[in-house]
Homo-oligomer: A and B are copies of this chain.
Amino acid sequence: MKKTHSPAPQHVEVASVSDATMRRFVGYRMKRAFNVVQEDLARVLKPFELRMLTYTALVLIVDNPGMRQSQLADAMDIERPNLVVLIDELERRELIVRDRVPTDRRAYALKATLAGLRLYDRAVAAVAAHEARLLDGIDQDSIATVLAALKTIENARQGD
């Protein structure tokens, strides 16, 4: 069903493009929304010289001091090799440290430094403000519904 009278689009979009099939294509809708979130988040994190991945790693380490890299990779849903460079970067900036685990000398216990904690405080506040702005038009019940649905989708992951 094509829109013949485009009802004042919020942002520039191809008014004549039919999305009859796409409208219910959840992957497509999620991607478009996630693009906006990601793009906007990148802008918010830029002053802190953080990207979504480094921010996520920092937050998880601050909230879970002593966690291992493999646990962090799992929590971030990325492969271990890809985590290494992220941790390298955070360590080089002296935001976190890799402490040896005495009981298992293969592993590292990740901990935030004081500088890491300070950056965490500022960045978390900025991101919270950013997301509040992004979700401005959506009521709390709907947000709860969305988060629950996202969690359900996560758990619906097929055979790993």
Contact = CB atoms under 8 A, between A and B. Distances in A.
Given A27-B52, A60-B22, A75 B150 contact: no
A37 B26 contact: yes
Contacts of A6: none
Interface stretch (A10-18, A82-90, A100-108, A111-119): A10-18
Given A134-B153, A153-B33, A156-B136, A59 B143 contact: no
Nearest to A59: B21
Nearest to A18: B63
B154 A143 contact: no
A52 B28 CA distance: 8
Interface in A7-49: 10-14, 16-41, 43
Given A138-B152, A142-B149, A149-B142, A25 B158 contact: no
Contact of A14 (B32, B74, B148, B149): B74
B59 A22 contact: yes
A67 B17 contact: yes
A68 to B, nearest CB: 9
Interface of A: 10-14, 16-41, 43, 52, 56, 59-60, 62-64, 67, 71, 74-75, 77, 124, 127-128, 131, 133-138, 142-143, 145-158, 160
